[in-house]
Each structure stands twice: as structure tokens, then as C-alpha cells.
Amino acid sequence: MKVRVFVSLKPGVLDPQGRAVHHALEGLGFKGVEDVRVGRMIEMDVADGTSDDALRQMCEKLLANMVIENYRIEKLETA
Amino acid sequence: MAFRAAVVTFPGSNCDRDLAVALEKVSGTAAIRVWHGDAELPEKLDFIGLPGGFSYGDYLRCGAMAARSPIVRAVVEAANKGVPVLGVCNGFQVLTESGLLPGALMRNAQLTFVCRTVPLTVENSQSLFTAGYEQGETIRLPVAHHDGNYFADEATLDRLEGEGRVAFRYGEEVNGSQRRIAGVLNAAGNVLGMMPHPERAIEPELGGVDGRALFESAVKALVAA
């Protein structure tokens, strides 16, 4: 089973990288970009039947730093 | 009594030798060098040092991989038993990632690597690491980091301040840290994490000696115990 974990900064946590990317987009002439936040996507191949609880634990024990980050798990159909 | 200090080396550590040299210069006893793959620490340690550098290439997040290594599990256990633990720079990042210290160290607010000597105020001169300084004293130590922007939620920051757990504060804007926090103690006072490098300021030849008192304090605390 393919699983994607999206890790993003919690709302309210300042994202200097997002701000720099925002400025760069404006510098390229793109209009109407209101805000940019930079996150991380982790793709994993896990055994079918891996429990949601195990996936959550992977996120909370390693993939995300719960002090500053949130995560979202997306399960993809087995190819 | 010999001062039994250990310095842990991770793949990518680059201040481990400096830390070991500083400990030896001040205590007179060579620090024991511990490899990240070791599952156990030497027995009866008086001090554990987690050095600066880029452990595991800063993969995922700075300090994240090192914090899950077997040796750091042993460091956490030792810290919980009261063994003094000092984490400098990447070592501080490892301490927050391991949960021994609250908060997190994020990318510097200005996004650039900062490498210079900065003024710090000693906010707590009562800890075993800082007893050799005067309360409120200004010292100068080098910093060299890309991810030293200390973050914790407001309630945590208030608690740290209220409990005297902010050990050092930057005297000027350095990296965007909340409340300019440069170094933090755990609740028991035996774990200190700090971004500035005391081990790089122990001899006039290095450009400063303001870091020396930190190691002297730790050695003195042991002798008094």
C-alpha cells in the first residue's frame, strides 16, 4: 500500500521559507499569491493491512515534530 | 576525583573534538569518546556532551535522526537519573527532538547561516552549568548555525521564564528566536541545550574565554557533590 504523509507547519508558526518563496513568486511577476507555506511530503510503501494507528505513530514519533508541525495521512490504492 | 565525561559522536558531528578538548582542559581528565552506534554509555558518568555539527546530514529535521539513535535513548535514561547533559548547537537540536527539552529549533528567521560572535546575557546563574557566571552578566560566545530559531508556544515560554529555565538570552537579534532565547534548562536543571558554542571560547588564542566558566561550573558542581 502506498501512503503519503503531508507534514506542514502549524498555523501561527512563522514560516520564513514560505515567506521567501512568496517574495520570489512575486519577483517573477505572479500576481494574487496571498500566502505561501512550505511543507514536506513523505511517500512510503507499507505492508497492506498496516493499521491507521501504526501510521499515526510513525508520524508522531518521527515524521512530524508535533511541537511545530501537523500531519495528514493519505492512503493510495495498491498499484 | 577524576571527572568522567563522555562526548557522543554522530555521523556528521564536527564539534565533538572541540568539546572533548574543552572538557579535558578544564577537568584535567580526557573525555571518553562514545560512538552513535553504541547502545550503552560508559558507567558512572559525571557529564555527557552532545556536540555541534550536522548529525545524519540534518535529514528530515536537524537532530531528528540522532534523537532516535540507540545511544540517545541511553542519554535520555541517564539524564532522567540526573546525569548532567550539555547539548551545544546540533546537540541542542537533538535534546529538543528527543523530548529532554521543550520547544523546537527552526530555520533562522533571516534564512541565512549565522556565524559570528554574539553577546549573551546569563539569565540564570544558579544552575550547575552557569554557577561560574554572574546573574545578568554579558558574555560573548560564537554561534554557527542555520537552524537556531527557538520556538515554543506562549504557555511553554512563560513557564520556562517563570521557572528560571532560560539559561542564556541573546543580547541582540541573531536568528529570530522567541524572546531571544539562546539556551534552555530542563525542569531538574541537569540538562542544558544552547546554540552558542562555549567549547569554542576557552582560550585567548580562540578569540575568547567566556565559555570556560561553563565547564568549570560543571566540574566544580561534581567536586562539591
Q: DSSP secondary-structure letter at B172?
A: S
* pLDDT above 90 coverage of chain B, percent: 96
* CATH number of the domain to which B10 belongs: 3.40.50.880
**What SS3 state is found at B137?**
coil
What percent of chain B is predicted at pLDDT more than 70? 99
Residues of chain B found within 8 Å of residue A14, distances taken between Cβ atoms: 106, 109, 176
Number of domains in chain B: 1
pLDDT tens-digit series, residues B49-68? 999 999 999 999 999 999 99
Query: A43 versus A12: which is more confidently predicted?
Result: A43
Contacts of A16 in chain B (CB under 8 A): 106-111, 149, 176
Q: Which of B104, B109, B110 sits opposite A67 (nearest CB)?
A: B104
- Distances from the Cα of A16 to the Cαs of A21, B57, B128, B142, in angstroms? 9, 21, 35, 23
Average pLDDT over residues B91-117: 97
Quote the DSSP letter at residue B194: E
Rounded CA-CA distance B63/B121 in Å is: 26
Residue numbers of A between 15 and 74 with CB closer than 8 Å to B: 16-17, 20, 61-63, 65, 67-68
- Rounded mean pLDDT of B191-214? 97
Contact partners, residue B17, CB within 8 Å, separation at least 6: none
B7: number of Cβ within 10 Å: 27
Domain around A62: 2-76
Residue span of the structural domain in which B192 resides: 5-224
Could you say which of B61, B107, B109 has the minimum Cβ distance to residue A65?
B61
**What is the CATH classification number for the domain harbouring A65?**
3.30.1280.10
**ipTM over the 0.90 cut-off:** no
Model pLDDT for residues A6-41, shown as the tens digit of each residue? 999 999 898 989 999 999 999 999 999 999 999 999
**For residue A79, pLDDT beyond 60:** no
Position B39 scores a pLDDT of: 87
Please tell me the distance in Å from B51's CA to the nearest CA on chain A: 21
**Residue B223 pLDDT greater than 90, yes or no:** no
Residue B89 appears among annotated catalytic residues: yes
Express the helix, strand and coil content of chain A in percent, nearest 5 each. Answer: 30, 30, 40
Mutate: best of A13, A38, A42, A65, partner B, most B CBs <10 A: A65
For chain A, what is the domain count? 1
Mean pLDDT across B215-225: 87
